[in-house]
Chains A and B, each alone.
Chain A
Amino acid sequence: MREFEYHTPGTIDEAVALLQQYEANARLMAGGTDLVIMMTDKVVSPEHVVDIKGIPEAAHFGWDAESGLTIGAAVPFRRLETSPEVRRFYPGMYEAASEVGSWQIRNLGTAGGNLCTASPAGEIGPILYALDAQVEIAGPRGRQRLPVQQFITGVRRTVLEPDEMLVSIHVPPPGQRTSSHYIKLKERQKMDIAFVGVAASIELEAGDGVVREARIALGAVAPTPIRAPKAEATLRGQRLTDALLAEAGREAAETARPIVDVRASAEYRKEMVDVLTRRALRQAATLAAR
């Protein structure tokens, strides 16, 4: 690891000022679980590391029925995993958060950092896509909110300029008869990386089990998390039968554009998108119907 200067800004404005001052020579750090490894391996060698854990706004985590969930950029996964509100209103996010690394890692690593690292295998991306989340960005030109789908632009790339930062993630409150699920395919039970990740959110019509709205997001099968719009359209307005699930699974698999790597072949990944999409939808629907 190369030496750097370590900064602990107390506010978002201070952090942005540091980024503005050092630009490409600076890296923002939240939990550090990705950044410390990347610096050790000299994948990145910033001269300035700006630690945002001490910024109250970045450490803020809250829920209310009006605005939904606010996850500050420095909130660790463990906070999401242990939040009764997350478990109740966003079960898919609970699943995704609890699938990250180990307990020790989840005490450090953050949803915001996971999103900014923008690894195709990241757990948090797909579920945020499925929950239609927004992100708040701060920079010298002020604040802006974006749909999360516009945030990640490629493998380890985001929309952020060198002098901008992620402040928080906002997840809208779930409607009635709405729920979500996330499944990560891996070899070990825990402490593994996603071969494929599938998140699904589903909203049912009152009474009859017909799908009003469905969102499906896939991880580790394209440079960024991707939605499966065709499968979503297939589900809309339909009763959730095995045949319909099979069709949605197939369509989601067609959407996937996976690569071959040490973990799995492209064919296997595609096929697993099918299986996991069906399973995630079924579970989300079961929860939504309760």
Chain B
Amino acid sequence: MRTLIELNVNNESYPIDVEGRTRLLDALRDKCLLTGAKEGCSTGDCGACTVHLDGQPVTSCLVLAASTVGHKIVTIEGVADGEELHPVQKAFMECGGLQCGICTPGMIMTSIAFLKENPSPTRDEIRDGLQGNICRCTGYDKIVDAVQAAALELDGKAGSKK
């Protein structure tokens, strides 16, 4: 049964029609045409579809779109401040924290949420924070570099290497 709902995505209102079964990931990609969140597994195991729901990272493949009405959703398209990229985005670029790029939006969404909770993490804490995001290209080392560099930029404090 199709119903009209209004999603708040990146501080904008998206009136879209969905079915009960429409997942948030599909609503974002097919209805809002925000394709930054990627579908890698549909089971919550890869993290490529990670978005923020009320500030917390969630796998949007496991969320029903209708259940997010009245909540704030932020996707990778909404993290830059106009033309100014988010420090985490910049750090991923500069540190070589991306290769094929398919995990990158989810990886960045998790990293942003993680650094809000832990502004000056150790490398091990970063690895723990990224436990739900699989990257198959980088071997993770440069992603950890990127999150560490972003932490320094955001917080001005040093996370210790090793």
Contacts and interface: CB of A to CB of B under 8 A. Distances in A.
* Touching chains A and B, CB distance < 8 Å: yes
Interface of A: 1-6, 8, 29, 31-33, 36-37, 39-40, 49, 51, 53, 78, 101-105, 107-108, 189-191
Contacts of A51: 64, 67
Interface residues of B, number: 29
Contacts of B42: 37, 40
A6 B58 contact: no
B21 A104 contact: no
A32 B65 CA distance: 12
B62 A36 contact: yes
Contacts of A5: 1, 20
Interface stretch (B6-14, B78-86, B124-132, B142-150): B124-132
A4 B2 CA distance: 10
Nearest to A2: B21
Interface string B102-127: 00000000100010000000000000
Interface stretch (B28-36, B44-52, B93-101, B152-160): B44-52
Contacts of A189: 131
Nearest to A33: B62
Given A3-B20, A4-B21, A103 B110 contact: yes
B151 to A, nearest CB: 17
Contact of A78 (B56, B61, B114): B56
26 contacts: A2-B21, A3-B1, A3-B19, A3-B20, A3-B21, A4-B20, A5-B20, A6-B66, A6-B67, A8-B67, A36-B23, A36-B61, A37-B44, A49-B20, A51-B67, A53-B67, A102-B47, A102-B133, A103-B57, A103-B131, A103-B132, A104-B59, A105-B44, A108-B58, A190-B131, A191-B131
A5, A51, A191 pick with most chain B CB within 10 angstroms: A191
B138 interface: no
B63 interface: yes
A104 B67 contact: no
Given A3-B1, A5-B1, A37-B44, A104 B64 contact: no
Contacts of B57: 103-104, 107
Contacts of A29: 64
Which DSSP category, helix, strand, loop or mixed, fits chain B's interface?
A: mixed
Given A53-B67, A104-B110, A191-B45, A32 B62 contact: yes
Nearest to B44: A105
Interface string B132-144: 1100000000000
Contacts of B64: 6, 29, 32, 36, 49, 51
Given A36-B61, A102-B44, A191-B131, 13 more contacts: A29-B64, A37-B44, A39-B21, A40-B42, A101-B132, A102-B132, A103-B129, A103-B132, A104-B132, A105-B59, A105-B132, A107-B53, A107-B58
Nearest to B53: A107
A112 to B, nearest CB: 16
A14 to B, nearest CB: 16
A55 B116 CA distance: 28
Nearest to B117: A82
A6 B59 contact: no
B56 A105 contact: no
A40 B78 CA distance: 28
Given A32-B67, A103-B57, A104-B50, A190 B62 contact: no
Contacts of A107: 53, 56-58
B62 A37 contact: yes
B19, B57, B128 pick with most chain A CB within 10 angstroms: B57
A103 B53 CA distance: 13
A103 to B, nearest CB: 5
B129 A1 contact: no
A51 B47 CA distance: 23
A32 to B, nearest CB: 6
A106 to B, nearest CB: 9
A189 B132 CA distance: 11
A105 B43 CA distance: 10
A104 B58 contact: yes
